[in-house]
Chain A
Amino acid sequence: MNATVAQLTARSLFGRRRILLLLALPAVPLLLSLIVRMATGPDEQIARTLMQTLTLGTVLPLFALIAGSGAIGPEIDDGSIVYLLAKPIRRSEIMWSKLAVASASVVVLAAVPTFVTGLILAGTADRLALGYAVGVAVGGVTYCALFLMLSVLTRNAVVVGLVYALLWESMVGGFVSGAQALSVQQWALAVTEWIVGARAQALGVEAGVPLGAAVPLLLVVAIGSTWFAGQRLRSIRVTNEE
């Protein structure tokens, strides 16, 4: 961890118009939950559907995509990364600092609003709010690490990340159950299922992978992709846009 790198990353992530997207995304489920609450009152089933499909399935991957690729992508794009790389800081340390900032933004701007969404719709019943908030936090950190690595590997990180997040996880994962084993969303859901506990099955919180597999997978992907990104950053080529 390097405080200066983290500070610079935070400034580029929250300083420009990017912050508008980062604020707008988690606000959507929050507003929707308020409307539903006023229209129909508290409802655990709607709470689960909303947090499952909207928050975990759509908002979180997009949020992590913007935060993760935004933490390093623009610097590589305009070539200003060379000024950072020229400093005597370990390349892996740069990646860890950037991951820390992106992860912090996921926890503060995505997991906390998810908790509030859950409270609005379901109260503290069955720890549904807490379960999804923690699921969003751990899934979000893993997504951020994954998209940070993609940004180091390719110029088209946002598009590749999108294809993974929207197509692989929601379309392929919906039809082919084997694909669920390779989905960050399912791993995060396993954590949620564990926190919700006994009533999880009845509420429909069902992950495609067991918790014992999900936690190691989350850790391996988050740590592994950050490590690999650090390795690739040691020999990165800064070229102009074609």
Chain B
Amino acid sequence: MTTTTSGGTSDRGVIHDIGYRHYTGPRLGRRHIVTALYADSLRGAYGLGRSAKSKIIPMGLFVLMAVPAAILVLVTAVSKVTEIPGGYTSYTFKLQALIPVFLAAQAPVVVARDLRFRVMSLYLSRPLRRDDYVLAKYAAFATAVFALLVTPLLILFAGALLLKLPFGEQISGFLPALAGDILFALVLAAIALMIASVTPRRGFGVAAIVTVLTVMTTVGLSAEAIAAEHGSWTLAGHLGMISPFSVVQGVQTWLFGADNPAPAGPQGTAGGLIYTAVTAAVLAGCYGFLLLRYRKVSVS
């Protein structure tokens, strides 16, 4: 067993040779480990490289998200209308019941196993740092969520172009939706991973994530609707921010001019600024929590 300090990249000792099989090739270092961990976690989020059983849920949800888009394209083709029914931005909103299921089912897959089987020490015995681990896992899961959200949009967009619908209209509908989905993926992945990283038990993690997301969404929408019914639009706008979906939707509406299906949404410039600030705060808060959480994970 040899312990070497790789020059400059890390100030700690790094175990390269655990005495099992010797390796004399090049050592690729920290950046390559982060990329490899990212790629492996991303594949793992969809069950690729794992048993057929663990592919059923992520792949099933992926198909469920995409099939309505294909149907919409077919409907557009048959009925010869000049726009996609419902448009781009509301697609994610309409299918939002599926998204918490994916988040809840797959976020524990990304992080809980490493905690449960206590293999963090193996990762950290390499030049990988704790913050790198968080970055790789978060980036991988956010990409997985983004892939889930963006595939139906791409189907809609490709279908619209194939049907020769007016390009200007389509691109001005598609781009805000694309930007919104990037935000959705970043925020939702951060919230789900934060909850999943607290518990090494998979079943409990699933229940906790879905409870938090569903309850916040339902409470946000009901509170917003009740306040809107009484005509207090500013209050309704603020109450809508309880729901993580509405917050991101609000930012999307305010920044990119997308349609907002929520009862009130952000009111005026002040409302838009608050929505953006809340989104940024949620992102920073969850990511900061993850960093702190993984500083405390014991390596022994």
Contacts and interface: CB of A to CB of B under 8 A. Distances in A.
B119 to A, nearest CB: 13
Given A74-B201, A77-B202, A77-B203, A32 B222 contact: yes
Interface stretch (A21-29, A103-111, A123-131, A197-205): A21-29
A53 B97 CA distance: 14
A213 interface: no
A54 B222 contact: yes
From B201, B207, B210, residue with most partner A Cβ within 10 Å: B207
B204 A156 contact: no
A139 to B, nearest CB: 17
A54 B218 contact: yes
A62 B203 contact: no
B207 A69 contact: yes
A242 B230 contact: no
A39 B211 CA distance: 27
B215 A24 contact: yes
Contacts, number: 89
Contact of A25 (B50, B53, B199, B215): B215
A184 to B, nearest CB: 17
Interface in B188-234: 199, 201-204, 206-208, 210-211, 214-215, 218-219, 222-223, 226, 230
Interface stretch (B98-106, B160-168, B259-267): B98-106
B151 interface: no
Contacts of A53: 218, 222
Nearest to A158: B206
Nearest to B216: A28
Given A40-B230, A62-B210, A162-B210, A242 B54 contact: yes
Interface in A55-109: 58-59, 62, 65-66, 69-70, 73-74, 77
Interface in B86-126: 97-98, 100-101, 104-105, 113
A159 B57 contact: yes
B2 interface: no
Nearest to B218: A58
B298 interface: no
A162 B211 CA distance: 10
Nearest to A27: B215
Contact of A171 (B97, B218, B222): B97
Interface string A226-242: 00000000000000011
Interface centre among A39, A159, A162, A166 (most CB of B within 10 A): A159
Contacts of A182: none
A24 B104 CA distance: 18
A171 B201 CA distance: 29
Contacts of A18: 204, 207
B97 A166 contact: yes
Contacts of A73: 203
A214 interface: no
Contacts of A74: 201, 203-204
A46 B104 contact: no
B104 A159 contact: yes
B51 interface: yes
A73 B204 CA distance: 9
Nearest to B98: A167
Contacts of B98: 167
Given A17-B199, A59-B215, A166-B97, A158 B207 contact: yes
A112 B223 CA distance: 23
A58 B206 contact: no
Contacts of A46: 226
Nearest to A35: B223
Given A162-B101, A163-B101, A21 B211 contact: yes
Nearest to B101: A162
Contacts of A167: 97-98, 101
Interface of B: 50-51, 53-54, 56-57, 97-98, 100-101, 104-105, 113, 199, 201-204, 206-208, 210-211, 214-215, 218-219, 222-223, 226, 230
15 contacts: A18-B204, A24-B211, A25-B211, A25-B215, A28-B215, A70-B207, A156-B105, A162-B206, A166-B97, A166-B101, A167-B97, A170-B97, A241-B202, A242-B51, A242-B54
Given A18-B207, A156-B57, A159-B104, 11 more contacts: A18-B204, A21-B208, A46-B226, A62-B211, A66-B207, A74-B203, A156-B105, A159-B57, A166-B101, A167-B101, A241-B202
